[in-house]
């Protein structure tokens, strides 16, 4: 894994996007056009044009989606599933589903790192909207061991294991309850920019197992892994699909925050995904300290690209500490105690050089894994059919 440049804005090598706050510290591979505008702006615009439909046409498309969800779920207790974390996007998604007349089951993955504020926000959402809540509490000994394994592996995306588990639980519950639609809070307007060196695909169960096998000590007996057969079973046989309805409406982050504050008594965490103590510690300390990554640059740049803030607004935000010093002291002690690590052990893990996820086994494209079957994909699936008991293997 290539390390990010360690330089300042006075260094001759330093370059920041003329339009956003993405720079060659955040991403060594960033590319600028003749006007000094980075590739992330052009990627954002292309993604926006292709996937975001608002106005009358967006309303029409959204209504068609909602009608289909209602029709397919009319004889069931729930017509869709929503993931809920207590954050901005999932909270607003819950409110929107209520206003659209849908009957969701709210599903929350508790990875044992919830803040008290997150618990309160989730409670307010489901209580005020009258939704049933299903909470899956992940096995702590397995998850703790897996988090430590990722620290030992020295890879950048420790959060991928939580994302993978959320993905797995949502599909599992949808399959069990025969619900066809999972509504997700992802949206192009505020969640597009992400350098490839910052993350790893959250569907890659093989990479998780490889890192656990090399560095873990606790077998993953209950962790919700989503292998090929499981994904194919839920998506192709059970017909479960993700739907991102936020791409069909006007979505202004500041306005959305005000709406959920007024209607659901939602309280702000201060930064994106800081409802989770581990995520706050990971994004606020581990990423900038070990990998020289400040995720605020990507989040703020998306808001600039979408016309929700100015570059000057973003620069002022970046002047603020990434982590409140008093909160950091509390979190640092809490994290080490919860993980069972001494200060010396943790410092030694942090000071190991970064490694690429691809130094470990990973999920390769089907054509790459089975090149001899490239022209025979249909035959491959006939030869290796999915059986119901495969989902338990």
The tens digit of pLDDT for each residue in 300-330 reads 999 999 999 999 999 999 999 999 999 999 9
Q: What is the dihedral of CA 234, 156, 139, 114, to 10 degrees?
A: -100
Task: Say yes or no to pLDDT of 379 above 70.
Answer: no
Angle, CA of 227, 392 and 184, to the nearest 5°: 55
- The domain segmentation of the chain, as residue ranges, is 54-359
Average pLDDT, the chain: 90
Tokens of 129: 């909207």
Residue 384 is predicted with a pLDDT of 52
| 3-class secondary-structure state, position 64 | helix
Neighbours of 310 (CB within 10 A): 11
Cβ-proximal residues to 143 (8 Å cutoff; 6+ apart), any chain: 111, 112, 161, 165, 223
**Closest residue by Cα to residue 210 from 140, 283, 160:** 160
Q: In the chain, which residue ranges form alpha helices assigned H by DSSP?
A: 39-51, 55-72, 88-99, 116-129, 140-153, 160-176, 205-215, 228-232, 253-264, 277-281, 296-305, 311-318, 325-339, 343-350, 366-369, 377-383
157-192: per-residue pLDDT in tens?
Answer: 999 999 999 989 999 999 999 999 999 988 999 999
Looking at residue 123, its pLDDT comes to 95
Are 71 and 80 spatial neighbours (Cβ–Cβ below 8 Å)? no
Model confidence at 232, pLDDT cuts 50, 70, 90, reads confident
**Mean pLDDT in residue range 271-281:** 79
Residue 342, phi-psi category: left (phi > 0), alpha (psi -120 to 50), beta (remainder): beta
Percent of the chain with pLDDT over 90: 79
Query: What was the pLDDT predicted at 236?
Result: 87
Cα 93 vs. chain centroid, distance in angstroms?
15
**Could you tell me the pLDDT band of residue 380, with boundaries at 50, 70 and 90?**
low
The three-state secondary structure class of 326 is helix
pLDDT at residue 372 in the model: 54
Which of 49, 48, 29 is CA-nearest to residue 39? 29
Grade residue 268 by pLDDT with cuts at 50, 70 and 90.
confident
Q: How far apart (Å, rounded) are the C-alpha atoms in residues 34 and 19?
A: 13
Q: Which has more confidence, 344 or 2?
A: 344
Query: In angstroms, how far is the first alpha carbon of the chain from the final one?
Result: 33
Q: Tokens in use for 246?
A: 């936020």
Q: For residue 83, what pLDDT is reported?
A: 95
E strand or H helix at 80: strand 80-83
Question: What superfamily would CATH give domain 54-359?
Answer: HUPs (3.40.50.620)
């Amino acid at each position: 894994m290539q390390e990010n440049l360690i330089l300042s804005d006075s260094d001759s090598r330093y370059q920041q996007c003329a339009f956003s706050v993405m720079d060659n510290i955040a991403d060594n591979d960033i590319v600028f056009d003749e006007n000094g505008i980075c590739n992330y702006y052009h990627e954002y615009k292309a993604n926006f044009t292709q996937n975001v439909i608002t106005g009358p046409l967006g309303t029409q498309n959204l209504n068609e989606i909602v009608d289909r969800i209602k029709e397919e779920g009319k004889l069931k207790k729930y017509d869709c599933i929503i993931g809920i974390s207590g954050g901005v996007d999932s909270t607003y998604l819950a409110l929107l589903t209520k206003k659209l007349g849908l009957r969701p089951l709210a599903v929350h993955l508790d990875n044992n790192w919830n803040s008290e504020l997150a618990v309160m926000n989730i409670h307010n959402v489901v209580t005020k909207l009258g939704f049933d809540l299903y909470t899956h509490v992940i096995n702590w000994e397995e998850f703790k061991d897996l988090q430590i394994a990722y620290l030992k592996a020295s890879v950048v995306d420790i959060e991928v294991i939580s994302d993978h588990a959320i993905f797995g639980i949502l599909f599992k519950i949808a399959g069990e309850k025969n619900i066809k639609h999972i509504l997700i809070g992802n949206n192009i307007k505020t969640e597009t920019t992400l350098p490839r060196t910052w993350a790893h695909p959250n569907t890659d169960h093989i990479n998780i197992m490889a890192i656990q096998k090399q560095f873990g000590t606790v077998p993953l007996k209950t962790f919700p892994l989503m292998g090929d057969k499981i994904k194919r079973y839920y998506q192709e046989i059970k017909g479960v699909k993700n739907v991102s309805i936020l791409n069909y409406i006007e979505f202004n982050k500041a306005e959305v925050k005000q709406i959920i504050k007024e209607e659901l008594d939602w309280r702000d965490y201060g930064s994106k995904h800081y409802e989770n103590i581990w995520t706050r510690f990971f994004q606020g300390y581990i990423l900038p300290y070990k990998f020289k990554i400040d995720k605020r640059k990507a989040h703020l740049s998306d808001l600039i690209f979408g016309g929700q803030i100015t570059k000057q607004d973003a620069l002022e935000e970046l002047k603020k500490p990434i982590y409140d010093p008093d909160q950091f002291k509390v979190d640092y002690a809490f994290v080490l105690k919860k993980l069972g690590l001494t200060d010396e052990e943790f410092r030694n893990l942090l000071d190991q050089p970064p490694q690429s996820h691809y130094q470990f086994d990973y999920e390769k494209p089907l054509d790459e894994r089975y090149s001899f079957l490239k022209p025979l994909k249909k035959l491959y699936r006939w030869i290796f059919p999915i059986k119901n008991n495969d989902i338990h293997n």
